[in-house]
Structure 1
Amino acid sequence: MKALFKLFSLLSIIFLLTACANDQAASDSSAKKDGKTVIEYWHVNAETQGGKTVEELVKEFNAQSETTEVVAKFNPDMYKGLMQNLQAEAAAGKAPAVVQVGWAFLDYFSNNFQYTSPQTVIDQHFSEDKTFLQDHFLPNVLGLAVNSKKEQVGIPYSLSTPVLYINKDMLKEAGLDENGPQTWEEVKEFAKTIKEKTGEFGLYIQEPADNWATQALLESNGAKMITDGKATFASEEGKEAYQLWADMIVKDKSAAHLPWDQGVQSFIDKNVAMVYTTIAQRSNIQTNAKFDVTAIQSPVWEGKEPKLPAGGSMLAITGKDEDQQKAAWEFMKFLYSVESMAKWTEGTGYVPPRKDVAEAENGLKTFLAENEMMQAAVNQMDAVVPWTSFPGDAGLQAEQQLLDIRDQILGGSTSVEEGLKPTEEAINELLK
């Protein structure tokens, strides 16, 4: 019996070693395909926000590259979801080669994950591209991808600002100025009138898994999401801005409280007259809205200047070995070409970060002249401020606490006064 047990144990060990060897061989072979280095590109672009363009660009790159094969992987739940998936991948000792990182997670990403600065990869392997970043990006734009330690973590890829899309037909039906409201105070009155006259919601403010639109609303009223490393959004200005949003949903019933994709679709379906969301929804809205639609600049608070967080993302290199990093830069350089940047903007509505795309004949010159909606975003770029990135390892948790209180306030289960200050205090405890 003992001999049988020993034989069984020996066979089990041999089986396990063979399986591990096979797994390793599969892993090694999966890094190459027809002599090409295979890399993963993780992105957050759903079909309605650039997903089709991602597929088009990856397909075009793979067809022309002799050294690299890119596999695109969509991560739902936006940038927070990608960070959570990246955590799981890192825990398993794996990583994609290129990742799309939202501005709100710049510090969190650089503090918690292994990455290589694009300039480092360029200096080591691509001497012909030594000045690529300096030649094609303005210093303030490149600076968006510099973390609190002054390190160039990645390269800006998507730039956006929030705009107000309006259904001009519904505004006229409600007896309102079809050019839309200019201030947040007017937005509230417009929404209330639309609800009374048409029975439909007057407004939807985007509610994805981040606080981008929240920051625009609060900071444009004079609040600051964070000051000297401490959360400060629960100021009087912050509470006043949040109260306007909550009143429209809870009190007036004139604004919709929906997940982001449903909110934008409700606008397209003519169940909402105005939607405050990213210019990156321009293509989706322009293609599918069957009414007189336009986009206007972000509303301001009376007597105040707008402060609009830079939406979008950067691309960062997370490939661990030399082949992965070289392949990552080859793919990224393709994505940052004038032609690829133009396709990306046309397919999404993001403002191109590369400085020479808008004027180039093979870029966006004709497109921008023909697409009025894009002008709203382009014209307010001087109001852009960095998207708040909570520092330290607790950044992801701090972001989630802000999302939780947003849902409670807009859901009517707690008030602005009762919810905002305790959340600020709890986040500051996390950040200590």
Structure 2
Amino acid sequence: MKLKKIISTSMALGLIALSLTGCNTTSGESKTSDSKTQIEFWNALTGKNEEIVKSFVDKFNEQSETVEVKMVSQGDYWENGTKLQAAIAAGNQPDLTMLEITQVAQFASVGALADIGEQISKEKKNDFLPGLMRESEYDGKTVAVPLNRSTPLLYINKEMCEGAGLDPSGPKNWEELKDYAKKLTNEADGVIGLAVPIDIWFYEALIYGQGGEMIDKDNKVAFNNEKGEKALGLWQDMMKDGIMQLPPGEGYDAWDAAKDAFINNKAGMTFQSTASLTGLMEQTEGKFTVNTAFIPGDTQFGVPTGGANIVMMENSTEDEKKAATEFIEFMTDTENVVDFSMETGYMPITKSALESERIAKLYEEKPQYKVAADQLKYSSKRPGVVGYVEASEKLMNEMKKALLDLDLDVKETIKSATSIMQGVIDKNNK
């Protein structure tokens, strides 16, 4: 889950709602080619993971006698969400798309998403891990199912920890995190203890790690209190102590900068997604051993889930929905879920995949992969309120000011930031 700007306004949602009442991308006719129903699937992954998704699409097209999937890559999650808004308003949306989990409510609220629960089998629906289905429901309907799902992890340089006299299994709480970061920092060698891209996902983990919540049931900001202040204060204190680094750049650039520091032995630890695991292990092979651990909590463990679900668009024809269901069933087949998890580092999304012999063997040989699955029991649902993505971006922008100017008061920053955040949420939920 990487924070980047996305348009999420009442006006945009109004345009979507209007377009849904007056247009259909297919004009009531399914697209066919050589007796196959053609459907369009928007991918929102980049780099190697995009190539892996394409390989599954190609595999599906080779084996399906009735459906042909055209994959169109739309950039990252946020670019994909913005383009989807525009496509719906213009009447040329895809049949299927990945949708970052906090965006599901945004599109479901205006009726853009089909009820997948009516399309897939009951057996299939019950196979998805319950901890990953919380962001798939809206107004009593199953409007999405998990596809590429993740949790944040703490990545640790095993040998660097051992050299500093630290347990390489990693810190369990905030005090231990600060101790690890202090002992791993070596200013003379340009090594920082912890490199963290400042992102709403990681801030959510700090709130959940205190037993708090981001947004309450009444759509009110719920961390304008000691929990919110302590979370931001942890980062600011570590910055003041010179044991944590704010990677340069915005959005993906900051995430990549943190990865680079870790890969090149310039950071002893970093917060990243489990989706980065396979790549980081490959890039550090022969350099050092990558260990993974739960995100440390203050009073308890707690993390958000992340990644994207797959959704079906309501305005597709029944034939296209049937074809889309065939592709969803394929992508979430046990063996394909296992393959996808092993190739990317994303979590197995079904019970059958998690209980498979191949995953058991992977976890035995590479226990780094098991950590995300184990951490899932401590996960909380991310806010599904409409406008949350836009609101959380403004929140992070305010918080970064207190991390760039370490003299700024944390309490005042949280008070101001949450007020701005609440204004955005209220605007989108009138």
Name the TM-score, length of structure 2 as normaliser: 0.83
* Structure 2 equivalent of residue 153 of structure 1: 143
Instruction: Measure how far apart 1:138 and its partner are.
Output: 4.9
Instruction: Identify which of 360, 363, 374 aligns with 1:365.
Output: 360
* Structure 2 equivalent of residue 216 of structure 1: 205
Instruction: Please say which of residues 242-251 and 277-286 is displaced more in the overlay.
Output: 242-251
1:215 is aligned with what amino acid? E
State yes or no: 1:84 paired with 2:82. yes
Structure 1 residues 34 and 263: alpha-carbon distance in aligned structure 2, compared to 1, 3 A threshold: farther
Runs of 4+ aligned structure 1 residues displaced above 6 Å come to 26-30
Instruction: Measure how far apart 1:239 and its partner are.
Output: 0.9
Aligned counterparts of 1:205 and 1:75: Cα–Cα separation in 2: 26
* Structure 2 equivalent of residue 305 of structure 1: 300
Aligned counterparts of 1:159 and 1:61: Cα–Cα separation in 2: 21
* Structure 2 equivalent of residue 247 of structure 1: 237
State yes or no: 1:426 paired with 2:416. no
2:414 is aligned with what amino acid? L
Contact 1:157 1:352 in 2 (8 A): no
1:142 is aligned with what amino acid? M
Instruction: Identify which of 103, 106, 109 aligns with 2:107.
Output: 109
Instruction: Measure how far apart 1:175 and its partner are.
Output: 4.2
Structure 1 residues 69 and 138: alpha-carbon distance in aligned structure 2, compared to 1, 3 A threshold: same
1:308 is aligned with what amino acid? V
Q: What are structure 2's unaligned runs of at least 5 residues?
A: 1-25, 249-253
Instruction: Identify which of 272, 291, 297 aligns with 1:277.
Output: 272
* Structure 2 equivalent of residue 74 of structure 1: 73
* Structure 2 equivalent of residue 352 of structure 1: 348
State yes or no: 1:202 paired with 2:193. yes
Structure 1 residues 180 and 244: alpha-carbon distance in aligned structure 2, compared to 1, 3 A threshold: same
Instruction: Measure how far apart 1:291 and its partner are.
Output: 0.9
Aligned counterparts of 1:130 and 1:162: Cα–Cα separation in 2: 30
Instruction: Identify which of 393, 400, 404 aligns with 1:400.
Output: 393
Instruction: Measure how far apart 1:233 and its partner are.
Output: 2.0
Alignment RMSD (CA, Å): 2.8
Instruction: Measure how far apart 1:179 and its partner are.
Output: 3.3
Contact 1:191 1:255 in 2 (8 A): no
State yes or no: 1:236 paired with 2:235. no
* Structure 2 equivalent of residue 43 of structure 1: 43
* Structure 2 equivalent of residue 382 of structure 1: 377
* Structure 1 equivalent of residue 5 of structure 2: none
Instruction: Please say which of residues 289-298 and 248-257 is displaced more in the overlay.
Output: 248-257
State yes or no: 1:188 paired with 2:188. no
Contact 2:95 2:321 in 1 (8 A): yes
* Structure 1 equivalent of residue 216 of structure 2: 227
2:417 is aligned with what amino acid? T
Aligned counterparts of 2:312 and 2:255: Cα–Cα separation in 1: 29
Contact 1:53 1:343 in 2 (8 A): no
Instruction: Measure how far apart 1:221 and its partner are.
Output: 2.1
Name the TM-score, length of structure 1 as normaliser: 0.82
Instruction: Measure how far apart 1:193 and its partner are.
Output: 2.8
Aligned counterparts of 2:271 and 2:356: Cα–Cα separation in 1: 30
Instruction: Measure how far apart 1:216 and its partner are.
Output: 0.3
* Structure 2 equivalent of residue 22 of structure 1: none
Q: What are structure 1's unaligned runs of at least 5 residues?
A: 1-25, 123-128
State yes or no: 1:132 paired with 2:115. no
Contact 1:222 1:238 in 2 (8 A): no
Structure 1 residues 322 and 294: alpha-carbon distance in aligned structure 2, compared to 1, 3 A threshold: same
Output one character per residue of 1:377-401: Cα deviation in whole Å (capped at 9) or x when no partner.
Answer: 2222220110122x23x33431321
Instruction: Please say which of residues 246-255 and 258-267 is displaced more in the overlay.
Output: 246-255
Contact 2:152 2:272 in 1 (8 A): yes
**Larger-Rg structure:** 1
1:314 is aligned with what amino acid? N
Instruction: Please say which of residues 379-388 and 153-162 is displaced more in the overlay.
Output: 153-162
Instruction: Measure how far apart 1:250 and its partner are.
Output: 5.2
1:299 aligned counterpart, secondary structure: coil
2:141 aligned counterpart, secondary structure: coil
Instruction: Measure how far apart 1:266 and its partner are.
Output: 2.1
State yes or no: 1:167 paired with 2:167. no
Contact 1:170 1:273 in 2 (8 A): yes
Instruction: Please say which of residues 338-347 and 194-203 is displaced more in the overlay.
Output: 194-203
Q: What is the percent sequence identity of the aligned residues?
A: 28
* Structure 2 equivalent of residue 13 of structure 1: none
